[in-house]
Chains A and B, each alone.
Chain A
Amino acid sequence: MMLDADGMNDPTKPPPSRSVVRAMIWATVPVLLLVQLLASAGVEVSSFWSQIRQLDARIARVAESRAGLIAEPLWKMRYDQVTGVLNEIMHDETIAAAAVYDDTGVVIARVVARPAVQALAEVSRPINYSNGNMAVQAGRIVIAYSYASLYMGAGGRLGLLLVVGLLGTLATVIAMRISANIFIGKPLAAMMSAIQRSKQDGRAYPADVKSSNELGQLAIAFNAMQHTTSGALDRLGHMASHDPLTGLPNRRTLSERLVALSRDAGSPDALIAFCFIDLDDFKGINDTFGHDAGDKFLVQISERLRGTVEAEDWVARLGGDEFVVIRPEVSNEAVARAFAQQLLAAISDTIMLHDKQVVPRASIGLAVRRAGDPELSHLPALADIALYHAKSKAPGTVAVLDEELQRDYRRRRDLELAIPTGFSEGQFEVWYQSQVDLVTQDVIGLEALIRWRHPEHGVIGPGEFLPLVERSGNNARLTRYVLTDACRALQRLAAAGMPQIRIAINLPPSELADHSLAAELRETCKRYAVAPSLLELEITEGSLINNIASASDTLRRLRRLGATIALDDFGTGYSSLAHLRRFPLDKVKIDKAFIREIPESAEDKAIVGVIASLAGTLGLTLVAEGIERVEQAQAMREMGVRLGQGFLYHKPQPLDAVLRGLAEAGGNGDRLLTDSPSIAPEFAA
C-alpha cells in the first residue's frame, strides 16, 4: 500500500495526465506536420508544374508569334530583319538563346543571352510563310529557355511553406498542450489526486472537476463510484474486522488492538488485563438445541459481556465459543481477577433456550501484563495457557497466569514436540504391574503401563503425556507399541514357565472407534505366537459414552478373538450400571479412590460392597486398584473382591524386574501369603 503510494508520488515519473497530453501530441503532431508539409509540397509542386507548363506554353507562343513575324523577312531573305526580330525576344529573361534556321537548316540568325544556364528546355516551331499564292515552310525558330527562375521561385516558396508549416505546427502543439492540459490534464490530475488521497486513508474524496464535457461527466461518475466504493470498503472493512453474528470485533482486530493498547497506554507500567473466555460445553448446547439456538446463545453471551464491561474495555469474539475481554488499565492482579470473576458471574445467568433454562458456564484464562512489556503481543497466547489450565484443571473458574502455569505450559509444549523423537528413539517403555488373586496371592495377570523415559525430564507418567500423545494424533501408534510389547512379554512369561499369566492393555477411547483394531490384535498375536485370550483390554466409561455403537462392535470382535474386556476406573465417572449390562464386559476395575480410605471409610466400604454385590450378580470379575495396605486387601477379600492390584503387591516395573520377582516368588514360597490375611472361603468359591 505505502509502496504503491510512493510509486505514484515519485517525482521523477511524469504525472499520467501529462503523458496523455504528450501522447496525444506525439500521435497527432507528426501526422499534422507531415500532412501539412505534403499538402503544401503537393500544392507547390503542382503549382510548379503548372508554371512549367505555362512557361512552356508561353515560350511556345513566343516562338509561334516570332515565327509569324519572322516568316516574311526570312522568306524574303532580309536576314538582318530576322535577327532584329529575334533580338527583341531576348528581353524575356527566361530565354537563354534563340535561333532561326532556314529551310536548308542553316542558322540564319542566332542570339544568345546566357550562354551557360542550367535546366534548359527548347521549343522549336516551323516558320510558315504564305501570301496569296503560296504557303511554304521557310524555316524553323528554336528557342532555348531556362526553368532556373521557376526553380528558384519554387524553392523559395517551398522554404516559406516549410517555415509557415513549422510555425503552424508549433502553434498547434502549444494550443494542444494548453487546451489538453485544461480540458484533459487538469480533470485527470484532479481525479488522480482524489484517488491517491482515497488510497491513503480509504475515504471517498471527490474529484473537483467543474467542466460539463465528457471528462466532467467522467468525474461525476468517478465521484459517484468513489462514494459507492468507499461505502463498500467501509462495510468490507467492518466485515473483515467484526464478527457478523455478534457484531463484536474479531480475531483480526486483536493484534491491532494490542498495538493500540501499547501505544495509547498512559504509562508503560500500566497493567493490562487480558481475559480469554471459553464457554464450557458449547458443543453440547449446539447438539442439544441446534445451531440457531447456539447462535442465539452466543449473541446473548456477547451482550452480557458488553453490558458488564466499562466504556474503555474491549470485547471481541475470536470465533466459536471464544471471547476476549481486555481492560486497558487495572491497578493490580487481584483487581483483574475480580474483574474476570465479574465476567464469569455475568455469563452464568440463566438463559432461556427453547423454553428450557440453560446455565452457561465458562472458563477464563487471565493474563496481566504491563503496557510497556515488549511481549505484549503474546498476551493471547499467555491467557490461553491460563485458560488451558482452567479448562483442564478447574472448568468454570478463572485461572490466572503465573510462573508455574507458564512452566507447565512450556513443559507440555516441549513434551508434545518431543513425541516423534520419543517414538523413534524408543524412549517409551512399557512397565508392568501385577494383578494378584487376593485369596491365593498368586499373580494371575499383569497390567501394561506406559512410561516415557525422557532424556531431560526423566520418567514421565502417562497421566501427563497421554493427553499430549492423543492431541498429537499418536494414540494408535502408542497402542500398537504397547500391544507389541505385551505380546513379547507374554512370550517371555511362557518361556519362564508362567503361561497362565495374562496381560491387560489400556485402550484409549479413539481406539475403540477403530474397526481395524481387532484384526491387528489378531495379527500381532499370531506374529508372536501368543493366544489372544491371554490379552485383556481395559477401557474407560468415557470412551463408551462417546461412540456407543462402534465401541460395542469393536468390543465384540475382540471378545470373539478370546480377549477379555475390563472396565477401568469404575466409580469415578458415570458409574453407569446400565453400561455394565449393555456392554460385553468381563471385568470391572474399582477406582483406587474408593480403596484409599478403606477400611476407615464406611461409605467407601459400602460403595465397594454394592459394586461387588452387583458384579457378582452380573457375573463380572472385580479388581480393586491401589491396594497399598494389608487391611485393604483383607477388606476387599471380605467384600468378595477377587482380584487386586497395588503397591502392596508390586509397583509397576520393567518386565525384567517383574520376571525376576515372579521367579523369586515361585522359588521361596508364599512371601506374599504370609503378609496377607486369609482369604474368605465364601469369596474363593
Chain B
Amino acid sequence: MSVVLRILLAMGMACGLCVPIGSAVASDAKHLNIVFVSPGKTGEVYWDMVAQTMQAAGRKLDAKVEVLTSERNYRTMQELGLGVVARADKPDFLILSNEESAAVPILEAAEAAGIKTLLLSNSLIGEDAKRLGPPRRVLKNWLGDITTDLTTAGARMANALIGAARNEKWQSPDGKIHLLAIGGDEITPASIARNAGLQLAIAAAPDVVLDRMLFANWTQSEAEQVAANYLGWAQRKGIRPAGIWAGNDPMALGALKAVAAAGIGPGEDIQVVGLNWSEDALREIKAGRLLLTDGGHFLLGGWSIVLLRDFADGCDFAATSSHVEVKTSAITRDNLTSVAALIATRAFDRIDFAQFRAKAGRCGQYDFSVEALISSLSPPGSAGE
C-alpha cells in the first residue's frame, strides 16, 4: 500500500463520515464497500484519474472505494483480485478491468464467492465472451460492464481533422486530403475501437486518403519516430500531409514534435488530434498546436460508482442494458477552460455525482455528457460541496 493510497483512504473515510448529513442519498441507503483492482501503474494518468473519480464519487454516494494497483503486472492484478475474493470480510462490489483478459479468473472466483462484479473499460472478448456469454447468465454475479464508446471518439477525431483540412484547403496535388493515423496497437479492444472509428470516418469521406495507419505502442517517442518517417515519405511522394490522427495524447505530442522537426507549423499547416484529455494535450490545445483531445473516459470510475449506487438502491442499470457505454467528448479551444482546471487540479470533488443518478423509473438511463459534467461542477475552491 502506497502512502498516497493510504492518504486517499483516510480522506475517503473522513468524507464518508460527513456524507449522511444533507445527502441526496436515501436515508435507507446502505453504505457500500467497493474494491477496484486497477491494472495500471501508480502515476499512470488515466488509471490514477479513474481511481480518483471513483473515490470522489464514493464520497458523494456513501461508498467506500478501495483501490488496489497492479502496477501493470497482470499476475499481480490476479493475485490482488483473488486476494480480495478470498477475504473474510468480502466487499459488496469488485470493479475489474479485463485488460489482456487477465480479469477472467478473478471474475470466476468472485462468482463463486458471491461477490458482485463490474467490468470497467475493458469487457470480456473473444473466447471468454463466447464461453461466459452476456452478464448475469453464466456468471450471475457479473453485473455488467461500463465502457467508453471509443469508436465514436475515433470517428469524431478524424472528422475534426477532415473538417479543418477542408476549411483550410489542405488538399495534396492529387486533390485529396492526406492523413496519417498513429494507433497504439492492433490488438486491444480500446485501440481497435478507436481505430475502427477512424476508418469509418475516412470511409465516409471520399476526398480523404489515409496514407498510413501506423502503430507506436502508445508512446510518444515511437510516435515521433514514425511520424517523422511518414512526413519524410510524404515529402518524397509529393504529398501534402493535412492531419495526424493519434490514438492517445502522448502519441499526438510525439507527432507534434516530429511535425515541428520537419519544419511544419502544427495548427497552421497541419492539424493533430489526440485522445485522453491529458494535461499536456490541453496545454498544446491552449497553445493552438493541437486541434483537440477527445476523452473524458477516466470519468468511468465515477460513473461506475453511480451505477453501483443505483444498483444497490434497487435501480438496476440492466433495465436498460447490462452494457453501459459512455460517450467521450472532445476538448477543443472552445470548451477548454471549464474542463482544464478540473483536470489540472484533479479536483473531482467538484463534480456532483449524485446529480448523475438515474431518475426513478428510468433505471439505466444516464447523461454522462461533457455538458452535463460542466453543469454539475461546483466552482473551483469549494471542493467537497
Contact = CB atoms under 8 A, between A and B. Distances in A.
Contact of B215 (A76, A80, A104): A76
27 contacts: A75-B212, A76-B212, A76-B213, A76-B214, A76-B215, A76-B226, A77-B212, A77-B214, A77-B225, A77-B226, A77-B229, A77-B230, A77-B233, A78-B225, A78-B226, A78-B229, A79-B225, A79-B229, A80-B225, A102-B233, A103-B237, A104-B233, A104-B236, A104-B237, A106-B232, A106-B233, A106-B236
Nearest to A105: B236
Interface of B: 212-215, 225-226, 229-230, 232-233, 236-237
Contacts of B226: 76-78
A102 B214 CA distance: 15
Nearest to B180: A77
Contacts of B237: 103-104
Q: Which 3 A-B pairs have the closest CB atoms?
A: A77-B229, A104-B236, A77-B226
Interface class of chain A by DSSP: loop
Contacts of A102: 233
A106 B238 CA distance: 13
A80 B230 CA distance: 14
**Interface size class, chain A:** 10 to 19
Contacts of A80: 225
A79 B229 CA distance: 8
Given A77-B225, A104-B233, 14 more contacts: A76-B212, A76-B213, A76-B214, A77-B214, A77-B229, A77-B230, A77-B233, A78-B226, A78-B229, A79-B225, A79-B229, A104-B236, A104-B237, A106-B232
Contacts of B232: 106
Interface string A85-114: 000000000000000001110100000000
Contacts of A104: 233, 236-237
Nearest to A133: B199
Interface class of chain B by DSSP: helix
Contacts of A79: 225, 229
Interface string A101-129: 01110100000000000000000000000
Contacts of B215: 76
A106 B233 CA distance: 9
A75 B230 CA distance: 10
A109 to B, nearest CB: 12
Contacts of B229: 77-79
Interface string A52-77: 00000000000000000000000111
Contacts of A106: 232-233, 236
A104 B213 CA distance: 18
A75 B229 CA distance: 10
B157 to A, nearest CB: 20
A43 to B, nearest CB: 51
A30 B226 CA distance: 70
Nearest to B231: A77
Contacts of B212: 75-77
Nearest to A76: B214
Contacts of A77: 212, 214, 225-226, 229-230, 233
A104 B225 CA distance: 18
A352 B213 CA distance: 151
A296 B160 CA distance: 158
A195 B229 CA distance: 101
Nearest to A77: B229
A145 B215 CA distance: 33
Nearest to B215: A76
Contacts of A78: 225-226, 229
A80 B236 CA distance: 19
Interface in A175-201: none
B176 to A, nearest CB: 16
A77 B224 CA distance: 11
A559 B31 CA distance: 205
A299 B203 CA distance: 146
B51 to A, nearest CB: 34
Contacts of A76: 212-215, 226
A75 B226 CA distance: 10
A474 to B, nearest CB: 136
Contacts of B213: 76
A604 B214 CA distance: 178
A104 B236 CA distance: 6
Nearest to B229: A77
A80 B226 CA distance: 10
B63 to A, nearest CB: 44
A77 B213 CA distance: 10
A199 B357 CA distance: 145
Nearest to B226: A77
A78 B222 CA distance: 9
B184 to A, nearest CB: 13
Contacts of A75: 212
B220 to A, nearest CB: 15
Contacts of B214: 76-77
A268 to B, nearest CB: 132
Nearest to A75: B212
A79 B213 CA distance: 15
A78 B236 CA distance: 17
Interface in A369-422: none
Nearest to A102: B233
B343 to A, nearest CB: 32
Residue of A76, A77, A78 most packed against chain B (CB within 10 A): A77
Nearest to A104: B236
Nearest to A79: B229
Nearest to B236: A104
Residue of A75, A78, A80 most packed against chain B (CB within 10 A): A78
A183 B328 CA distance: 108
A662 to B, nearest CB: 164
A103 B232 CA distance: 12
A77 B212 CA distance: 9
A79 B233 CA distance: 12
A102 B212 CA distance: 13
Contacts of B225: 77-80
Nearest to A74: B229
Contacts of A103: 237
A80 B217 CA distance: 14
Residue of A75, A76, A103, A106 most packed against chain B (CB within 10 A): A76
A85 to B, nearest CB: 16
A241 B232 CA distance: 124
B131 to A, nearest CB: 25
A639 B111 CA distance: 207
A421 to B, nearest CB: 134
